[in-house]
Amino acid sequence: MNVYAALAHPLREHILRILDAERLLPYKDLMKRLGLKKTGLFNYHLKKLEGFIEKRNGLYQLTAAGRNAIRLMITKEQLMVGETVDFQEPDSRGAIYRIGVIICTCGEELRQAINISDLVEKVTDLPYVERTRVFHHLCLLENVEKLKHWCERHFLNNLVIAACSPRLHKEMFATIREQLDVQIEFANIREHCARVHRKNPERATEKALLLIRASAAMLCHRIPIPKRTLPIRKSVAIIGGGLAGLEAAKVFAKTNHSVILLEKEPCLGGIARRWERIYGALDCGPCMIAEDVSSVILSGNTRILTNTELTNISGTIGNYEITATQLPRYVDLNKCTMCGVCAEICPHSCPDEYEYNLIQRKHIHLPCPAAYPNKPVINKRDIDFCLTCRKCEKACPSNAINLDQESEIKKFSVGAIILATGAEVCNPRTIIPLDSIVYNPTKDIISSYEFERILAPDGPTGGQILRQINGKPARSIIVLQCLNSINVCSGYCCNVAQKYIDVVENIAPEVSINILYDKSHIPPDRTTFIPEDNRIHFCETIKLIHRGRKRIIQTDVGSFPADLIVLNMGMIPGDQQLALRTITNFSLNSRGFLDTRSLSSGIWACGSVTRPETFEELVTESRNTALEVLLLLGRDSLPAGDMPILIAQEKCGLCNLCVELCPYNAISITADTIHIDTLKCEGCGACIAICPTGALSAAPIQDEVQAAINALSMGTTSPRILIFCCESCGYPAADNAGIRRLEYDPSAMVLRLPCTGCVDANFIITALNLGFDGVMVVGCHETACRFLDGIKKARIRIEALTHFYGEELQKRVRILNVSAVEGHVFATQVNQFAAELTELIGS
Amino acid sequence: MKKIGFFQLNSCSGCMFAVLSSTIFLDLLKSADIRLFRLISDVQTEDQFDVVFIEGGVTRNEEAALLRRLWTEGAKIITLGSCAVLGGIMSHSPNMHIDPVNKFVDPYATLPGCPPPQQLLGNLLMSAIDGIEFKLPEKNVCSECPFAQDQTYDVEITSLNALHPPKSCFLSEGILCLGPITRAGCGARCIKGATPCDGCLGALDRNLPSALANLFSVLKVSDSIREYAAIAFRYQKPELKFK
C-alpha cells in the first residue's frame, strides 16, 4: 500500500477528496462526480486505491489510511504556500455524520419573523449538514413516510428538526424516531425564536441558525445507544409462607406461572396461624391458613419449601437468581406416616416456642396442631442432645428419621420476587413499664400473644381463659394499650383490643374485660379508630394495687379487678428485616418498616413486612401485589429504560458519589462494579454531572452540551445569555412565553437539559469563558422539582462557584424558579437580566 | 542517545528532587545524555534537546520565549509537577501572575503532582527514553484509597485537617477530602499519612473549582468551609474571563 503510488494520478487524488467531502457515496454518484463515462477506467483507479477506500453496504468511504492520505495532501498544500501546519485529528470514534436539517415553517407563520431562504442557505454550509428541506406542516403524519424516504435516499443518519417545541408533537416525533433509524435533535425555532422576536427578523434569523448549529453539534457528539430488552422468566419466588405469602400464592395458583414459596419455620402459617380469630375476618386463623394452603397445593404449580431461609438475591428484573438454605428437618417427609411413636419415646422436653413457652414440648415434635406439612420436626438447636440419645431414630417403624441430615443450599431462577416475610412479635420485656406492671407470665401479667394462645381452642388451655398462678378460670381481664417501646403508633393494637372484646364476649360472657389507655402514652400519630364502648377507658393514672388476694387496677376513671393483665404488644420489623436488608437494599418508612417504593424493580413486598395491617388490608395488598407481578410476567420482555446511562467500568473509581446523589436509589455498587437499575432510573442525569471521572455518560449530556455551548457562543449580538432550562419546568416556561408571544431579548439562547441537577459547574465556567456575558439556570420551584432536588443541586453548585470567584460571577449567573405556565416570569426575568448585563458591560 | 534537559522556571525544586530520588534516574544517566540539570551539574548547554522536562510555572516573557524556542527547535516538552501543569500554589499570589506551561506550548506529556508520584514519574522518565506513550490514570483517588469502601456522605463536613489517622473515609468522618474529584496515581499517599487529599494531581475532565462545586452538591458542607475559596484554588486558579 504505497501512498505515493496511490496519489500519483490526479483522478485518484480527486476520488479521495470527493469521499472526504461527502463521506459516503454510492458507486454511480462517485463516477458522476468524477465526470467519467467508462466504468473500466473508473474500476482501474478504484482498484489502485485499495486500502485507502472501502465499500461498505454499497457505499464507498475512506479508510483510516485514506483519511491519513487526505491529511498528507492537505499538509503538502499548506506547506507549499508557506502556512504553518495545523494537524486535525479525525473523529476518535471514526463515526460518520450525515446530517439532514428539516425546517418547518408552520404554515408560513415562521416566515414573518425568519428569513427562511437565507436560513436554508446558511444551514447548508454548516459542517456535516448534507441536505436541508423545508416543510410547511411537518406535523402531518403522512410526512413520516416522506422523511423516511428522504433519509434513505441521501444516506442521512442524523436529523435536526427545526420546528415548534419538541413537547408539542411528542407522538409524531416518537413515530419518526421509531420508524427512521436516525438520531434526532430538535431546534425550537418557533416558540423560542420566531414568536418571541417578531420585531427583529434579522436577529431572529441569526438565532435560528445558531439553534440549528447547536443541535447539529450535539448530534456530532452523540453516542448511539443500542435498544436493549430484558427477557422475563415466567416464575416468581414468594419469601415467607404467612398469610400474605399464601394470599399471593393463591392468585398465582390460578395461573400457569410456577411459584416457589420459601418459609423459614418448619410449617406454613406465620403469626396468624396462632390466632383464634383474625381481626376483620370472621374465620379463625388456622382454618384460613388451612384453606389457603390447600388451594395452593391443589394448583400443582407451587413448590413449597419449609425450614428454608433466603440467603442471597442477585440479578435484575425478569432474571433473578435466589439462593436459599434449607435447614435439616431430620425427618423424611415422604417416609413418615405420622404414627407418633417418636414423640412418645422422646425422653427430653423443653419450652414450646410455638405456644410462647406456656407449655413444654418434646424435642421431636409436631410444629403445631394441624400444621402443613403435618410431620414431626427436630429443632436444629436441640440436635446436639438428640445425637447422644437417638432413641427416636431406632424406634421409628418406617425409618423416616435421620439425625445426620445436613443443611442444603438451593438455587432458583425466577422472574420476580415477593417479600412477605412479615413482622416480629415485640418482646414484652422491652416495653415502657406502666406503674409496677412488669411482664411476668407466672404472675398472670402476660403479653397479648400469650393471650391469643390462651383464647385459641387448639392452645395450651383448650380455649379456656385460665390463670397461670392457680390454673383456675380468670373472672376479669385488663388489657393495657399503647405500650410499644418506640413512641410511634403500631397502628394495630386498638384493633386487637376490639377483637379481644368480641372473642371474650363469645367464648366466656361471664368474664369482664376492660381496655385501658394511658392518655400520656397515646402516640401523636395514631390513625386507628377507637369506638365508643363502656369497656374502653382513657385514664390519666394507672396503678396496680393488691387488696388481699384480689388484684385491682386503680385509675382516675374507676377501679377494675385484674385477674389477668394483658400487655397489648405491637409488631416490630425485627431482626429478620435486618437480615433482609443485607440481602436486598431498601429504605425504611417512618414506622421503621420496609418502604415498598425503595425496592429494586422486580422485587415487591406485601403483608406485615411493610406495616402492621388488618386482615382486609393484608389481603388487598397481597392480591394487588400478585396482580402487579402477573402484569410483569405477562410480558415476554421489557425495554431497558428510556435514557439508559452508559457506564465505563474501567473509569469508575468507586467513590460512591453517584450512589449518594441519585434521588431514586437506582445506582448501586456491588463487587467493584457499578450498576444502574434502568427501570428505577428516571433519567435526570444528575449522576453524570457529579461523576468526577466521566465513568457515567448519557445521550444529552457532557460532550454534547459542551459542543452546544460552543456552537451557541458563536452569536454576534450582545449581551449574550445562555439559559439552561430543565425539561419539566424551565423549557415549558420558555415555550409558554412563546405561545403568549412575549418578546424578550433575542440574544438569550435556551439549551434544554433533562433536569437542572445535571448543570455541571463546568458548563457555567465554560460558557463564561467562551464569551457568554451571563448564564441563567431556569428550573422548577424548589418544592416542586420533577426530580426531587435537581434545582437545589444546581443552586448549591452556583453558590459554591460564587464563593470561589466572588461577586463578579454573582452578577453573571442567575438562577430562576418557574413553573411551566409562568412564561411571563421567564420573559421579564430574561429582559431584566439582559438589561443588567448591558449596563455591566457598558461600565 | 536522547538529549535531555531539565528546566526550572518558578518553582521550589521539589519535582527535581523527586526526579533525583527516582530509582529510574540512574538508568536515565546511563541511557540518556543529560545536557542540562542545573540542580546537580554546572554544565550548561541551552540548545538541541530531544526531550525537556519543565518544572514550575511561567511568570516572565523571557520564560515564555524560552519555551517557544525549545518547542520550535523540536524538543518534546514534558511538564512536571502541579506548577508547570496547573499553575500551582503560586496562582494564589496577588502580586504576580503565573501561567501553566500549556498556555504557551503544547506539551508532549504532563504529570501533575506536588511532587509527582514516584510510580508515574518512573513511567514518565521511561517514556522519555523509549518513546512509549505516557498516560495519566483516568480514575480518582478513591480507587486507590484503602478507606474508600461503602463510604457514606451524610456527615456534615466541618473540618479541613485531620488530627489523627482515619479509621474510615475522611468524608464519612466530617473532614473535607478532595479524593473523589482528584486524579489517581499517587496511591492515596497523603490519606495513608493521615492527611486528607488536597487535589495536587488536579481534577479529572474539568477544572478543580467546578469539580469542587459539583462535589459540594452531594456533601453536606458547613458554611465556613463553603465560603473558604482557597480550597478550590490550592493548585490551580483557572482564569475566568469576563468581558
pLDDT tens digit sequence for B40-91: 888 777 678 888 999 998 988 999 998 998 888 888 899 999 999 888 888 7
Mean pLDDT, residues A450-465: 85
pLDDT tens digit sequence for B159-194: 888 888 888 888 888 899 998 999 998 888 899 888
Among residues A353, A370, A405, which one ends one of the domains? Answer: A405
Whether A230 maps to a domain, the answer reads: no
How many C-beta atoms lie closer than 10 Å to residue A410's C-beta? Answer: 14
Tell me, what's the pLDDT at A499? Answer: 87
Our CA-based measurement puts residue A451 at a distance from the nearest CA of chain B, in whole angstroms, of 44
Task: Tell me the pLDDT band of A384, cut-offs 50, 70 and 90.
Answer: confident
- Residue A116 and residue A108: Cα distance in Å, rounded? 10
User: Which chain B residues are within 8 Å of A654, Cβ to Cβ?
Assistant: 142-143, 148
Q: Are residues A757 and A842 in the same domain?
A: yes
Task: Tell me the pLDDT band of A227, cut-offs 50, 70 and 90.
Answer: low
Q: Examine the pLDDT at A448 and tell me if it is beyond 70.
A: yes
Task: Tell me the pLDDT band of A639, cut-offs 50, 70 and 90.
Answer: low
For chain A, the straight-line distance linking the first and the last C-alpha, in angstroms and rounded, comes to: 63
What is chain A's mean pLDDT, rounded? 85
Mean pLDDT, residues A360-380: 85
Whether A344 maps to a domain, the answer reads: yes
Do A642 and A680 meet the contact criterion of CB atoms below 8 Å apart?
no
Q: Are residues A144 and A274 in the same domain?
A: no
Phi, psi of A550 (to 5 degrees): -80, 145
Predicted TM-score (pTM) of this structure = 0.67
How many C-beta atoms lie closer than 10 Å to residue A803's C-beta? Answer: 22
Tell me, what's the pLDDT at A794? Answer: 92
If you ran DSSP here, which 8-state letter would residue B231 be given? G
Q: Are residues A672 and A706 in the same domain?
A: no
Best to test chain B binding among A657, A688, A760, A813 (most B CBs inside 10 Å): A657
- Cβ B212–A800 below 8 Å, yes or no? yes
Q: Which residue of A has its CA nearest to B207?
A: A762
Q: Are residues A459 and A563 in the same domain?
A: yes
Do A738 and A192 meet the contact criterion of CB atoms below 8 Å apart?
yes
Q: Which residue of A has its CA nearest to B206?
A: A762
Whether A838 maps to a domain, the answer reads: yes
Which of B150, B211, B217 is the closest to A796 by Cβ? B217
Percent of chain A topping pLDDT 70: 96
Q: Examine the pLDDT at A90 and tell me if it is beyond 70.
A: no
- Cβ B148–A656 below 8 Å, yes or no? yes
User: Which chain B residues are within 8 Å of A652, Cβ to Cβ?
Assistant: 139, 143
Q: How much helix, strand and coil, in percent to the nearest 5, is found in chain A?
A: 35, 20, 40
Q: Are residues A62 and A151 in the same domain?
A: no
pLDDT tens digit sequence for A6-23: 888 888 888 888 888 777
DSSP tally for chain A: helices H, then strands E: 26, 39
Q: Are residues A502 and A568 in the same domain?
A: yes
pLDDT tens digit sequence for A528-574: 778 888 889 988 888 888 888 888 888 888 889 888 999 888 888 87
Question: Which residues, at least 6 apart from B135, have a Cβ–Cβ distance to it below 8 Å?
Answer: none
Which among B68, B51, B55, B73 is positioned nearest to B103, based on CA atoms? Answer: B68
Best to test chain B binding among A804, A810, A813, A838 (most B CBs inside 10 Å): A804
Q: Are residues A244 and A210 in the same domain?
A: no
Is some CB atom of chain B closer than 8 A to the CB atom of A629? no
Tell me, what's the pLDDT at A87? Answer: 46
Whether A664 maps to a domain, the answer reads: yes
- Residue A653 and residue B6: Cα distance in Å, rounded? 33
Mean pLDDT, residues A700-712: 84
Whether A85 maps to a domain, the answer reads: no
If you ran DSSP here, which 8-state letter would residue A759 be given? -
DSSP-derived 3-state class of residue A518: strand
User: Which chain A residues are within 8 Å of B239, Cβ to Cβ?
Assistant: 769
Q: Examine the pLDDT at A286 and tell me if it is beyond 80.
A: yes
- Cβ B140–A806 below 8 Å, yes or no? no
Q: Are residues A531 and A555 in the same domain?
A: yes
- Cβ A692–B150 below 8 Å, yes or no? no
Mean pLDDT, residues A437-447: 86
* Higher per-residue confidence, A837 vs A437: A837
Q: Angle A630-A635-A638 (CA atoms, 0-180°, nearest 5)?
A: 115
User: How many C-alpha atoms does B185 have within 13 Å on its Cβ side?
Assistant: 30
User: For residue A677, what are the CA distances in angstroms to A261, A609, A639, B156?
Assistant: 26, 23, 12, 28
- Cβ A804–B213 below 8 Å, yes or no? yes
Q: How much helix, strand and coil, in percent to the nearest 5, is found in chain B?
A: 35, 15, 50
User: Which chain A residues are within 8 Å of B153, Cβ to Cβ?
Assistant: 656-657, 660
Q: Are residues A174 and A110 in the same domain?
A: yes
Phi, psi of A676 (to 5 degrees): -115, 125
> What residues are paired with A567 via a beta bridge?
A447, A480
Task: Tell me the pLDDT band of A94, cut-offs 50, 70 and 90.
Answer: low
Tell me, what's the pLDDT at B15? Answer: 92
Percent of chain A topping pLDDT 90: 20
Q: Examine the pLDDT at A71 and tell me if it is beyond 90.
A: no
Domain carrying residue A379: 333-405
Q: Are residues A101 and A144 in the same domain?
A: yes
Our CA-based measurement puts residue B96 at a distance from the nearest CA of chain A, in whole angstroms, of 18
Tell me, what's the pLDDT at A624? Answer: 94
Best to test chain A binding among B214, B233, B234, B239 (most A CBs inside 10 Å): B214
Residue with cell 424516531: A177
Q: Are residues A662 and A777 in the same domain?
A: no
Is some CB atom of chain B closer than 8 A to the CB atom of A821? no
Q: Angle A557-A563-A497 (CA atoms, 0-180°, nearest 5)?
A: 65
Give the per-residue SS3 of A636-680. Answer: CEEECCCCCCEECHHHCCCCCHHHHHCCCCCEEEECCEEEECCCC
Residue with cell 417578531: A198
- Residue A402 and residue A236: Cα distance in Å, rounded? 32
Tell me, what's the pLDDT at A732? Answer: 92
Tell me, what's the pLDDT at A188? Answer: 92
Q: Examine the pLDDT at A395 and tell me if it is beyond 60.
A: yes
Phi, psi of A397 (to 5 degrees): -70, -25
Strands A408-414 and A542-547: unpaired
Query: Which CATH number is A537's domain given?
Result: 3.50.50
What is chain B's mean pLDDT, rounded? 86
Query: Which CATH number is A176's domain given?
Result: 3.40.50
Among residues A572, A587, A607, which one ends one of the domains? Answer: A572
**CATH 1.10.10.10 for domain B2-130:** no
- Cβ A799–B143 below 8 Å, yes or no? no
Which of A694, A764, A803 is the closest to B205 by Cβ? A694
Task: Tell me the pLDDT band of A443, cut-offs 50, 70 and 90.
Answer: confident
- Cβ A653–B141 below 8 Å, yes or no? yes
Mean pLDDT, residues B23-30: 86
User: Which chain B residues are within 8 Å of A663, Cβ to Cβ?
Assistant: none
- Residue A224 and residue A522: Cα distance in Å, rounded? 59
ipTM higher than threshold 0.90? yes
Residue A364 belongs to what H/E stretch? strand A364-365
Q: Angle B31-B37-B41 (CA atoms, 0-180°, nearest 5)?
A: 100
DSSP A135-187: ES-TTSTTHHHHHHHHHHHTT--EEEEEES-TTTTHHHHHHHHHHS-SEEEEE
Question: Which residues, at least 6 apart from B50, have a Cβ–Cβ distance to it below 8 Å?
Answer: B2, B3, B4, B75, B76
If you ran DSSP here, which 8-state letter would residue A296 be given? H
Residue with cell 413418615: A336
Task: Tell me the pLDDT band of A833, cut-offs 50, 70 and 90.
Answer: very high
If you ran DSSP here, which 8-state letter would residue A197 be given? -
User: Which chain A residues are within 8 Å of B148, Cβ to Cβ?
Assistant: 654-656
Our CA-based measurement puts residue A226 at a distance from the nearest CA of chain B, in whole angstroms, of 25
Q: Angle A754-A759-A764 (CA atoms, 0-180°, nearest 5)?
A: 140
Question: What angle do the packed helices A201-219 and A703-712 form, to 10 degrees?
Answer: 160
Q: Domain count for chain A, please give it.
A: 7
User: Which chain B residues are within 8 Å of A761, Cβ to Cβ?
Assistant: 206, 209-211, 213-214
User: Which chain B residues are within 8 Å of A692, Cβ to Cβ?
Assistant: 140, 180-182, 203-205, 211, 214-215
User: How many C-alpha atoms does B193 have within 13 Å on its Cβ side?
Assistant: 7
Our CA-based measurement puts residue B145 at a distance from the nearest CA of chain A, in whole angstroms, of 10
Q: Examine the pLDDT at A767 and tell me if it is beyond 60.
A: yes
Do A824 and A737 meet the contact criterion of CB atoms below 8 Å apart?
yes
Mean pLDDT, residues A796-801: 92
> What residues are paired with B80 via a beta bridge?
B55, B111
- Residue A747 and residue A210: Cα distance in Å, rounded? 10
Q: Are residues A442 and A565 in the same domain?
A: yes
Is some CB atom of chain B closer than 8 A to the CB atom of A78? no
pLDDT tens digit sequence for A103-148: 998 888 888 888 899 999 999 888 888 889 998 888 888 888 888 8
Whether A308 maps to a domain, the answer reads: yes
Q: Examine the pLDDT at A89 and tell me if it is beyond 50.
A: no
- Residue B172 and residue B108: Cα distance in Å, rounded? 39
Query: Which CATH number is A76's domain given?
Result: 1.10.10.10
Residue ranges covered by each domain of chain B: 2-130, 141-231
Mean pLDDT, residues A31-48: 85
Which of A771, A801, A808 is the closest to B213 by Cβ? A801
- Cβ B243–A773 below 8 Å, yes or no? yes
Q: Which residue of B has its CA nearest to A800?
A: B213
pLDDT tens digit sequence for A736-752: 999 999 999 888 999 99
DSSP-derived 3-state class of residue A725: strand
Q: Examine the pLDDT at A324 and tell me if it is beyond 90.
A: yes
* Higher per-residue confidence, A406 vs A526: A406
Tell me, what's the pLDDT at A679? Answer: 67
Q: Which residue of A has its CA nearest to B220?
A: A796
Best to test chain B binding among A655, A659, A721, A766 (most B CBs inside 10 Å): A655
